[in-house]
Amino acid sequence: MPSQKSPFKHFSKTIFQGLFWLLPIVGIMIIVSWIYGKLAKIVGLVFRIIGFAPENYAFLWGILVVFIFLVILYILGWFVKTRLADMFEYIFCKIPGYTTIKGLVGIFNSSKKGNNQVLVVAIKGFATEGYNIGLMYAQKESIIKNHYTVTLSMSPIPNGGFMFEVHKENIFIIEDATFDDNLQYLLSMGIKSFADVIHTEPKSLDDLLPLDIWLKNQKNNML
């Protein structure tokens, strides 16, 4: 049976989801603010040359700025629906690193649902016996048939690690776990077991969902 998540765990998880949803908006606001600052300097210089003082008409100036901003948003919204947007996307994809950055942003901005969710998995260990806990950032088959990419992060600094191509028969999904749980586990340096992190009892390997079955379920849900 799935474990009951504590109110604090639910609260912290919801906060992280809200944070990653907000980050793109904050980024857009920063860019807009930067562009506005540059335009304000140019417009201010032009107004001083022609002798117009916008501070004397603050209310009307504010309405004009809002109107222009709405018009720009409308144009951008219309632009997104056209094939020109796909063309610009194609051009940006040629920039080195763009697709990688876009993919990373997509990971942290996702709600961890769908075919590209971050899965916490147990894989056949690299010692004589046992298993390792890792992450699957995508569920796309590797260049080696029936193999999938699993990332094992370092502890306690999780921004490094190793990537392995693992046969699907050796990959088991820890369904109750999230990306944040794995991060907490790494930072604890093993002081907390993964069972402690997700507040559940230790499970038999037979209780974990094999990747092969998970992939079949995802395929059936798309039909």
**Residue 37 falls inside a structural domain:** yes
Residue at which a domain ends, from 63, 78, 108:
108
Q: Are residues 181 and 122 in the same domain?
A: yes
- Asked if residue 120 and residue 22 are part of one domain, the reply reads no
| Whole-number pLDDT of residue 2 | 46
Question: Do residues 89 and 189 both lie within one domain?
Answer: no
Shared-domain flag, residues 130 and 192: yes
The residue segments making up the domain with residue 145 are 112-222
The pLDDT tens digits of the residues spanning 14-54 come to 666 666 656 666 666 777 778 777 777 777 777 677 766 66
Report the C-alpha gap between 133 and 212 in whole angstroms. Answer: 17
pLDDT digits (tens, 9 = 90+) for 134-168: 999 888 889 999 999 999 988 887 777 889 999 99
Residue after which a domain boundary falls, among 108, 135, 169: 108
- pTM, to two decimals: 0.52
Is 2 within the bounds of a domain?
no
Phi and psi torsions of 138, nearest 5°:
-155, 155
Look up residue 141 and give its DSSP letter: B
CA-CA distance, 152 to 155, in Å (whole number)? 10
